């Protein structure tokens, strides 16, 4: 479904460069649950950003069913992302002034879906993550685990084929983290492709396949 061919990423700051990814080849199968492990700075987030069309590689190709995403314009890539990918980040990234329900509705608003349908679909996703009773709470009125479940509901509301989760349990205690990981596993069992970046072996154990990055390169024997 999604394939990286010789993907490298070089960041330049002033006259310094950082090679964040080195010639990464990776094939993601539909319905797979993949964990990406590696130390801080090894390139996990960079890899997820490129997989999800949030950033471009410096070289190499990103193929989505034979279509090279690196040739798309900013707009086209944004549309592709909106249709196919849901993101969950370590820091939740919820809008502080919106309620839980409104946060979940947001991706649908950006896609021009009617208010009525937005509300129905957002409620459904909040129910799915067990937060129907917190719909009118703002992020600051929710626990960390609840905020992350709202973020997951927001990622799910546009029914993406793929969820990219970057250290989603990094700011949660281990029990709360397990709740989120079980939700991810649940989704995966129903067909959603999951890519989870983590440095926690217990979290990675939820995946079917684990890959490891070291200094931006994929380790062959991991």
Ligand X SMILES: Nc1ncnc2c1ncn2[C@@H]1O[C@H](COP(=O)(O)OP(=O)(O)OP(=O)(O)O)[C@@H](O)[C@H]1O
Question: Which residues of this protein are in contact with ligand X, per CB under 6 A?
Answer: 11, 13, 18, 20, 38, 40-46, 199
CB of 73 to Mg ion, least distance (A): 27
Q: Which is nearer to ligand X, 13 or 140 (CB)?
A: 13
Measured from the CB atom, the residue of 99 and 148 that comes closer to Mg ion is: 148
Q: Taking CB within 5 to 8 Å according to partner kind, which of Mg ion, ligand X, none is near residue 121?
A: none
Please state, in angstroms and rounded to a whole number, the distance separating the CA atoms of residues 92 and 180.
12
When CB distances are held under 5 to 8 angstroms depending on the partner's kind, the choice from ligand X, Mg ion, none that residue 6 binds is none
CB atoms within 10 A of CB 215: 14
CB 89 within 8 A of CB 151: yes
Interface with Mg ion (CB under 5 A), residue from 42, 45, 188, 193? 45
CA distance 141 to 134: 9
**Which of Mg ion, ligand X, none interacts with 145 (beta carbon under 5 to 8 A by kind)?**
none
Give one DSSP letter per residue of 22-80, joined into a string.
EEEEEEE-TT-EEEEE--TTSSHHHHHHHHTTSS--SEEEEEETTEEGGGS-HHHHHHH
The residue (of 135 and 217) whose beta carbon lies closer to ligand X is 217
Calpha distance 160→25 (Å, rounded) = 23
Closest CB to Mg ion among 48 and 108? 48
Do the Cβ atoms of 144 and 172 come closer than 8 Å?
Answer: yes
Among the residue ranges 39-47, 52-60, 68-76, 198-206, the one whose residues contact Mg ion (CB under 5 A) = 39-47
Please identify the residue of the shown chain whose CB is closest to the bound Mg ion.
Answer: 45
Q: Write down the least CB distance from residue 144 to ligand X, Å.
A: 18
The owner of tokens 């939700």 is 183
With CB under 5 to 8 Å by kind, the binding choice for 41 among Mg ion, ligand X, none is ligand X
Applying CB under 5 A, does 42 fall inside the site for Mg ion? no
Output the smallest distance, CB 13 to ligand X, in A: 5
Nearer to Mg ion, 44 or 84 (CB): 44
Q: What contacts 176, CB < 8 A, 6 or more positions away?
A: 143, 144, 145, 148, 169
The SS3 call for residue 164 is strand
């Amino acid at each position: 479904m999604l394939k990286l061919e010789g993907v490298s990423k070089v960041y330049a700051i002033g006259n310094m460069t950082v090679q964040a990814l080195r010639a990464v080849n990776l094939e993601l199968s539909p319905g797979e649950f993949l964990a990406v492990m590696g130390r801080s700075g090894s390139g996990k987030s960079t890899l997820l950003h490129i997989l999800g069309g949030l950033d471009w590689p410096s070289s190499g190709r990103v193929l989505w069913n034979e279509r090279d995403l690196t040739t798309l314009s900013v707009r086209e890539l944004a549309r592709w992302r909106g249709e196919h990918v849901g993101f969950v980040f370590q820091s939740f990234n919820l809008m502080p002034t919106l309620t839980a329900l409104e946060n979940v509705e947001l991706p649908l608003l950006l896609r021009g879906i009617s208010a009525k349908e937005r509300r129905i679909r957002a409620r459904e996703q909040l129910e799915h993550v067990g937060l129907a009773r917190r719909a009118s709470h703002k992020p600051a009125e929710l626990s960390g685990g609840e905020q992350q479940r709202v973020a997951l509901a927001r990622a799910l509301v546009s029914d993406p084929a793929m969820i990219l989760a970057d250290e989603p349990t990094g700011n949660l205690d281990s029990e709360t983290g397990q709740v989120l990981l079980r939700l991810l596993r649940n989704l995966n069992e129903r067909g959603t492709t999951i890519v989870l970046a983590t440095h926690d072996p217990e979290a990675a154990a939820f995946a079917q396949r684990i890959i490891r990055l070291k200094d931006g390169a994929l380790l062959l024997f991991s």
